[in-house]
Structure 1
Amino acid sequence: MKEIRPIAFFRSPLTSKFGVPRQSGLADNLVGRIVFEPQYQREEALRGLEGFDYLWLIWGFSANKSTDDGKLTVRPPRLGGNERLGVFATRSPFRPNGLGLSSVRIKQITDSVIEVVGADLMDGTPIYDVKPYIPYVDSHPEAKGGFTDKKAWQKLSVMMSDEYARCFEKEELAALKEVLAQDPRPQYQHDTERVYGMPFGGKDVRFRVDGDVLEIVGIE
Structure 2
Amino acid sequence: MEIEPIGFIRTCFGSKFAVPRQPGLCPSAWGVLEFSQSYSAPETIRGLDGFSHVWLIFGFHQTSDEGWRPTVRPPRLGGNDRVGVFASRSTYRPNGLGLSLVKLDRIDEDPPILHVSGVDLVDKTPIYDVKPYLPYAEAIPDASAGYAEAEIPRYEVKIEEIAKRAFEKLDERSQHLIKEVLSLDPRPAAGSRDEKRIYGAELAGVNVRFRFDFITACVSVVKIEGV
Query: Distance between the aligned counterparts of 2:37 and 2:65, measured in 1?
Result: 28
Task: State the Cα distance separating 1:152 from its structure 2 match.
Answer: 3.7
Task: State the Cα distance separating 1:39 from its structure 2 match.
Answer: 2.1
Q: Where has structure 1 moved over 6 Å in runs of 4 or more?
A: none
The superposition leaves residues 179-200 of structure 1 with CA deviations (integer Å, 9 ceiling, x where unpaired) of 1111111113411011111111
Tell me if structure 2 keeps the 8 A contact 1:67–1:95. no
**Paired residue for 1:127?**
127
The superposition leaves residues 143-182 of structure 1 with CA deviations (integer Å, 9 ceiling, x where unpaired) of 1111111x44211111114313213100111112111111
SS of equivalent residue, structure 2 residue 3? coil
Q: Does 1:190 align with 2:193?
A: yes
Where does structure 1 lack aligned partners over 5 or more consecutive residues?
A: none
How many aligned residue pairs are there?
217
Identity %: 45
Tell me if structure 1 keeps the 8 A contact 2:158–2:219. yes
The 5-angstrom pairing of residues 1-220 of structure 1 reads: 1=1, 3-68=2-67, 71-111=69-109, 112-149=112-149, 151-161=150-160, 162-187=164-189, 188-211=191-214, 212-220=217-225
Task: State the Cα distance separating 1:43 from its structure 2 match.
Answer: 1.4
Change beyond 3 A, Cα 1:177–1:58? same
Query: Distance between the aligned counterparts of 1:65 and 1:100, measured in 2?
Result: 12
SS of equivalent residue, structure 1 residue 120? coil
Task: State the Cα distance separating 1:67 from its structure 2 match.
Answer: 3.9
- What TM-score, normalized by structure 2, do the two folds share? 0.91
Query: Distance between the aligned counterparts of 2:80 and 2:213, measured in 1?
Result: 20
Query: Distance between the aligned counterparts of 1:177 and 1:206, measured in 2?
Result: 12
Where does structure 2 lack aligned partners over 5 or more consecutive residues?
A: none
Query: Distance between the aligned counterparts of 2:50 and 2:37, measured in 1?
Result: 24
- What TM-score, normalized by structure 1, do the two folds share? 0.94
